Amino acid sequence: MQLTNRQLMYMISLALVITLFGTALNLSRLGVGPDGLTGAAVGNISLTISKQASFNMSANISWGGGTVTAGQQEAVLDTEQAAAVNGNWSFTNVDGFIISNTGNVDLNLTVTSWRNNYTNVTFIGGTGSAYKYSVNEVGNSCIDEAGGLDNEVAVNFDGVNETQLCGNLSWTDGTDTVSIDVNITVPYNSLTGYREDTWIFSGTERTSA
């Protein structure tokens, strides 16, 4: 049978369609799209950020030598004051212990004495002596909670037992620092000679109750 030109054209067109469809199907299986070769893969990124409980602290407190002013019952040395009251200790602007949380967790900050277990009686002696400290926040660094001494009220130092200074010291920059100020009252009849005590500060991760 002799095909007409129109029939021949139809057959050629059909063959071209079938060929193009098969080519497209094969290219798709090979990852070839209309814009060229393409591919896909999945890549995971993972890491672990560990908790770190750490802090740094300023240097020592030293008032030097001095005596109670003649005729006075006592002298007061306080790191919040620029000079001794009723005494001739020559210190100027002695800072308290400045403690900053440098880790990435809130801290339970405590203090205790090392070896000596001093109280006001055994450290200073005399009539009406005092050996106290106060916790002063920088911003809202010591988050309020029961049992945390996050205030500026001076309390007696307990050299025998570990004492909580701040139950929840924030690690957020700008609100991660406390100042531990020290107040010593030296009566006219106090002990004499060189007096020294060592405090041990500890900071552990604060755990919720």
Q: Are 100 and 177 in contact (CB under 8 A)?
A: yes
Nearest to 183 by CA among 134, 112, 111, 117: 134
Q: Which of 107, 118, 125, 123 is nearest to 169 (CA)?
A: 107
Cβ atoms within 10 Å of 24's Cβ, excluding its own = 13
8 Å CB contact between 141 and 175: yes
Reported confidence tier of residue 138, pLDDT bands at 50, 70, 90? confident
pLDDT digits (tens, 9 = 90+) for 78-129: 998 888 999 999 877 678 899 999 999 999 999 988 878 889 999 999 999 9
Rounded to whole angstroms, what are the CA distances from 192 to 7, 123, 127, 133? 126, 10, 13, 22
Position 143 pLDDT exceeds 60 = yes
pLDDT band, very low/low/confident/very high, at 67 (cuts 50, 70, 90): very high
DSSP 48: -
Rounded-to-integer distance, Cα 63 and Cα 83, Å: 9
Question: Is the CB of residue 77 less than 8 Å from the CB of residue 195?
Answer: no
Rounded to whole angstroms, the Cα distance separating 97 from 199 reads 10
Per DSSP, the three-state class of 203 is strand
User: Exposed, middle or buried by CB within 10 Å (0-12, 13-18, 19+), for 104?
Assistant: middle
Tens-digit pLDDT profile for residues 2-48 = 556 565 566 666 665 566 555 555 555 555 555 566 778 989 999 99
Q: Band the pLDDT of 148: cuts 50, 70, 90.
A: very low
Q: Compute and round to an integer the Cα radius of gyration of the chain.
A: 38
Return all residues near 36 (Cβ < 8 A) that are at least 6 apart: none
The owner of tokens 């005092």 is 130
pLDDT higher for 11 or 140? 140
Residue 152 C-alpha from the chain's centroid? 20
